[in-house]
């Protein structure tokens, strides 16, 4: 029953976010992580300094994970995860430090993951754990 509801919600979401691949990818990534027993604690966290945004902050066991979601309609231009360059990593690290400080999370209990989403029928999701430090 719940699977049917998710499929209907996906169709409605794809119509309303037709050109917004990023939003659709984040929704798929959110559900993907929930199925893997992660707890999503924040979505689209922005540091107060404005220095970066974290797509998803999740708890995977005792580890706080900062997840960058990259979505593409096709793989014509390579894997979506390749879009996370050094500049993007620096912005993510700044935002992650801000989150960890404010939430009281020890930096040693964190990691950075990338979820690569290729939209298709069905969507293909690749989870790259500990993508960078």
Q: How far is CA 41 from the centre of its chain?
A: 12
- The pLDDT, as a whole number, for residue 81 is 78
Residues with pLDDT less than 50, the chain: 16-17
- The pLDDT, as a whole number, for residue 17 is 47
CB 43 within 8 A of CB 115: no
Query: In the chain, count of helices (H) and strands (E)?
Result: 3, 5
130: which DSSP letter? E
Query: Domains plus CATH for the chain?
Result: 2-132 (3.40.1350.10)
- The pLDDT, as a whole number, for residue 13 is 55
- DSSP labels for 30-92? HHHHHHTT-EEEEEEEE-TTSS-EEEEEEEETTEEEEEEEEEES-STT--GGGG--HHHHHHH
SS3 state of residue 121: coil
- The pLDDT, as a whole number, for residue 92 is 92
What are the pLDDT digits (tens) for 62-94?
999 999 999 888 766 777 777 788 898 999 999
Among residues 72, 46, 67, 64, the alpha carbon closest in space to that of 56 is found at 67
109: which DSSP letter? G
């Amino acid at each position: 029953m719940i699977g049917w509801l998710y499929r209907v919600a996906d169709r409605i979401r794809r119509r309303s976010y037709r050109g917004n691949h990023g939003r659709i990818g984040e929704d798929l990534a959110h559900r993907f992580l929930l199925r893997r027993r992660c707890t999503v604690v924040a979505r689209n966290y922005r540091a107060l300094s404005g220095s970066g945004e974290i797509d998803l902050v999740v708890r995977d066991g005792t580890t706080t994970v900062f997840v960058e979601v990259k979505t593409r309609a096709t793989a014509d231009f390579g894997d979506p995860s390749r879009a996370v360059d050094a500049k993007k990593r620096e912005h993510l690290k700044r935002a992650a430090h801000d989150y960890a400080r404010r939430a009281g999370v020890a930096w040693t209990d964190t990691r950075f993951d990338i979820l690569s989403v290729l939209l298709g029928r069905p969507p293909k999701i690749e989870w790259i754990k500990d993508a960078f430090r």
